[in-house]
Amino acid sequence: MTSYIDPDRQAWEAFKGLPKDQPIQMLNLIKLKPKADYPPGHPDHGKHLTGLDAYRAYGRTSAAVFKRVGGHQVWAGKPQVMVTGPQDAEQWDLAFIAQYPSTAAFMEMVRDPDYREHVKHRTAAVADSRLLCLGLVTPGEGFGE
């Protein structure tokens, strides 16, 4: 099974090609490791933290950078049952949508030196993930409009 933790080069290049001045939302689907996997030398190495502990540390420590670039969480939910889709694959522990004023703001966040340090908690926590960039649209009256 292939795990996805960070964007690959092709996806990152496509993301960088999006308009830089329009708000975006990022759908995050996260599968956590049972035990956080910090590398030797990291202050949390050997502390027996769970993946959830490490992901919460990522959220706490990166919050200031997230807010500084204009990001905010617009929705969070706890995945329960895959009603349509594979029952034995892609089971998620966390699901949320974060909004940014632009792709440029998101790129500013991930390039920030403090964020690059804090993201080590995410790397220790996450077994698999999906990150889908969404453009904002005004919903219609029916589904999918």
Dihedral, CA of residue 50, residue 54, residue 55 and residue 58, to nearest 10: 170
The answer as to whether 144 is a domain residue is no
In a domain, 13, yes or no: no
Q: How many domains does the chain have?
A: 1
Q: Is the pLDDT of residue 1 over 90?
A: no
Going by C-alpha positions, the residue among 20, 28, 9 that lies closest to residue 69 is 20
Q: Tell me if 58 is assigned to some domain.
A: yes
Indicate the length of the chain as a whole number: 145
pLDDT band at 84 (very low <50, low <70, confident <90, very high): confident
Q: What is the mean pLDDT of residues 37-54?
A: 96
- C-alpha–C-alpha distance, residues 33 and 52, integer Å: 8
Say whether pLDDT at 15 is over 80.
yes
Average pLDDT of the residues in 122-141: 94
Q: For residue 74, is pLDDT > 70?
A: yes
Residue 114 has pLDDT above 80, yes or no: yes
- The pLDDT-based confidence of 90 (bands split at 50, 70, 90) is confident
97 burial level (CB within 10 Å; 0-12, 13-18, 19+): middle
Q: What is the CATH number of the domain that holds 104?
A: 3.30.70.100
State the pLDDT at residue 145.
Answer: 66
Longest dimension (CA), the chain: 54
Predicted pLDDT of residue 116: 96
The answer to whether residue 117 is domain-embedded is yes
Average pLDDT over residues 82-108: 91
- Confidence check: pLDDT of 36 > 70: yes
Residue 1 in any domain: the answer is no
143 within a domain of the structure (yes/no): no
Q: Does some domain include residue 9?
A: no
Does residue 35 lie within any of the structural domains? yes
Q: Which domain holds residue 48?
A: 18-135
